[in-house]
């Protein structure tokens, strides 16, 4: 959950060659061949990608999260009910960080994007009310393996553009300074990475564009690897995933290396893998899109490769802020739902059900705006809340997790 975690990134240590690649990515779009189709996406906090599409012959535009961490394609249960789509009960289950669920399906549908159709789609049905509350945007579904397995897909974070290409061999752009990753593929993508703190550890991680975080590891991986320095402070927090909210701990690790790219002092989440989504020791955790949005990428599932090249966001600073507040968009208002005991939000006097009206004299009901304000580590902000019909002004000191 972005408002509790208020994720942030810092990366530094860039070689001359990498610096040149940042410059080169300005022409990433021009270096690619002409796609079958190209269309814009919306980017939310945490690097979350929203694609707009229409379903079958329904004229309404729907919002889908583009998610390499999804082994198929899905629709929100409320969207299924709104458009009276046929449900078929099954005994199939899906698994996430916060639970295992048996899901219904709706079969034989079509999604239409500008100049491009995805046909013969079988959606599993899930409830995405929580994701809608997290991002303040109606989430109608998630697009994952079903899309990526059929095409070569490029993601350009500089121009917010998706490119769709025929499957098979692909000529990666010369002169862009990129690098070809060779992860392990199934319905998900498992990318090796090296984490260094008290010691250096190599493991595989789910490459997850649908995870609005930097890096997440399981508690079992942490315990067995003795990864973290003993002085590392752990901050109680939580995040959202399949099945609901999940308590976690937030800290920092000294280095993370993906291919030739080295990131320093990266915010790190630790979770108890109750539902064994990592099949430990096969996987150590999740590589999220708040880190990987710093690369433009070409996903080629048929050739089992991902081409990444640093983009204009490569040197964006990490955000080390921590508030302990869980804020959500509820019934048209931004509401405090969770307050971590002993956290900065708790010390400032926030209570569950407080409605946030303004931060630092910015009055809005756009949750993305408030989340951006909460990502100023070490700062003090004035927050006006409505509490049981009264207005209260609270003084929130945002903690910097780099400082103990």
> Each residue's pLDDT tens digit in the chain (404 positions)?
333 333 332 322 333 334 444 444 346 878 899 999 999 999 999 999 999 999 999 999 999 999 999 999 999 999 999 999 999 999 998 888 878 889 999 999 999 999 999 999 999 999 999 999 999 999 999 999 999 999 999 999 999 999 999 999 998 987 778 999 999 999 999 999 999 999 999 999 999 999 999 999 999 999 999 999 999 999 999 888 777 888 999 999 999 999 999 999 999 999 999 988 898 999 999 999 999 999 999 999 999 999 999 999 999 999 899 999 999 999 999 999 999 999 999 999 999 999 999 999 999 999 999 999 999 999 999 999 999 999 999 999 999 999 86
Minimal CA–CA distance to 336: which of 16, 3, 100?
A: 3
Is 377 exposed, middle or buried (CB count within 10 Å of its CB: 0-12, 13-18, 19+)?
Answer: buried
- CATH code assigned to 321-400: 2.30.42.10
- Distance (Å, rounded) from C-alpha 199 to C-alpha 297? 30
Owner of token pair 């800290």: 251
Exposure class string for 321-339: b at 16+ Cβ within 10 A, else e: bbbbbbbbbbeeebbbbbb
Q: Where are the domains of the chain?
A: 321-400
Dihedral pair phi/psi, residue 345, rounded to 5°: -65, -40
Question: What SS3 class is residue 110?
Answer: strand
Owner of token pair 């299924």: 80
Question: What SS3 class is residue 201?
Answer: strand
Beta bridge partners of 251: 268
Dihedral pair phi/psi, residue 9, rounded to 5°: -135, 145
User: Is the distance from CB of 53 to CB of 59 less than 8 angstroms?
Assistant: no
């Amino acid at each position: 959950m972005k408002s509790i975690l208020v994720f942030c990134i810092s990366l530094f240590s860039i070689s001359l060659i990498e610096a040149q690649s940042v410059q080169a990515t300005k022409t990433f779009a021009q270096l690619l061949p002409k796609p079958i189709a190209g269309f814009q996406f919306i980017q939310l906090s945490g690097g979350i990608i929203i694609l707009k599409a229409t379903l079958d012959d329904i004229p309404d535009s729907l919002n889908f999260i583009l998610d390499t961490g999804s082994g198929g394609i899905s629709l929100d249960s409320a969207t299924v009910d709104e458009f009276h789509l046929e449900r078929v009960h099954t005994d199939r289950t899906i698994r996430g960080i916060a639970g295992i669920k048996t899901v219904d399906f709706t079969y034989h549908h079509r999604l239409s994007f500008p100049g491009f159709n995805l046909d013969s789609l079988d959606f599993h049905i899930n409830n995405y009310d929580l994701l809608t509350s997290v991002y303040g945007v109606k989430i109608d579904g998630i697009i994952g393996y079903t899309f990526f397995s059929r095409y070569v897909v490029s993601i350009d974070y500089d121009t917010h553009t998706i490119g769709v290409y025929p499957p098979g061999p692909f000529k990666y752009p010369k002169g862009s300074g990129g690098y070809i990753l060779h992860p392990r593929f199934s319905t998900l993508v498992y990318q090796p990475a090296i984490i260094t703190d008290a010691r250096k550890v190599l493991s595989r991680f789910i490459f997850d564009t649908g995870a609005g975080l930097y890096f997440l590891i399981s508690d079992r991986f942490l315990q067995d690897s003795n990864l973290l320095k003993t002085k590392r402070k752990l901050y109680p927090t939580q995040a959202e995933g399949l099945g609901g909210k999940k308590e976690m701990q937030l800290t920092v690790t000294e280095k993370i290396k993906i291919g030739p790219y080295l990131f320093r002092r990266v915010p790190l989440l630790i979770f108890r893998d109750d539902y064994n989504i990592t099949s430990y020791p096969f996987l150590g955790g999740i590589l999220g899109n708040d880190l990987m949005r710093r690369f433009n990428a070409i996903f080629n599932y048929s050739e089992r490769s991902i081409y990444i090249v640093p983009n204009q966001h490569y040197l964006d600073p990490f955000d080390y802020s921590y508030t302990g507040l869980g804020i959500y968009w509820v019934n048209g208002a931004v509401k405090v739902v969770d307050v971590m005991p002993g956290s900065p939000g708790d010390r400032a006097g926030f209570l569950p059900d407080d409605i946030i009206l303004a931060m630092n004299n910015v009055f809005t009901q756009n949750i993305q705006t408030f989340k951006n304000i909460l990502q100023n580590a070490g700062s003090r902000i004035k927050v006006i809340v409505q509490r049981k019909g009264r207005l209260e002004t609270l003084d929130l000191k945002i903690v910097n997790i780099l400082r103990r």
